[in-house]
Amino acid sequence: MPDLDLQAIGLTEVNRHLQGRIESAKGANEWVVQNPMGAHAVAVGLIGAPKITVAGHAGFYCGGMNDGAEIEIMGHAGPGVAENMMSGRVHVHGNASQSAGASGRGGLLVIDGDAASRCGISMKGIDIVVGGRVGHMSGFMAQRGNMVVCGDAGADLGDSIYEARIFVAGSVKSLGSDCIEKEMRDEHLETLAGLLKSAGMDKDPKDFRRFGSARKLYHFNVDHASDY
* Model confidence band, residue 1 (pLDDT cutoffs 50, 70, 90): low
Distances (CA, A) of 121 to 112, 113, 143, 182, 203: 19, 18, 9, 20, 24
Beta bridge partners of 47: 67
| Stretch 125-132: mean pLDDT | 98
* Model confidence band, residue 174 (pLDDT cutoffs 50, 70, 90): very high
Strand ranges inside 14-137, DSSP E:
30-34, 51-54, 67-73, 87-92, 108-111, 124-130
CB-based contact 81:100 (threshold 8 Å) = yes
Give domain limits for the chain: 1-97, 128-217
Mean pLDDT of the chain: 94
User: What pairing do the DSSP bridges indicate for beta strands 87-92 and 144-149?
Assistant: unpaired
CB-based contact 92:73 (threshold 8 Å) = yes
What pLDDT is attached to residue 28? 72
What pLDDT is attached to residue 22? 73
- pTM for this entry: 0.94
What pLDDT is attached to residue 166? 98
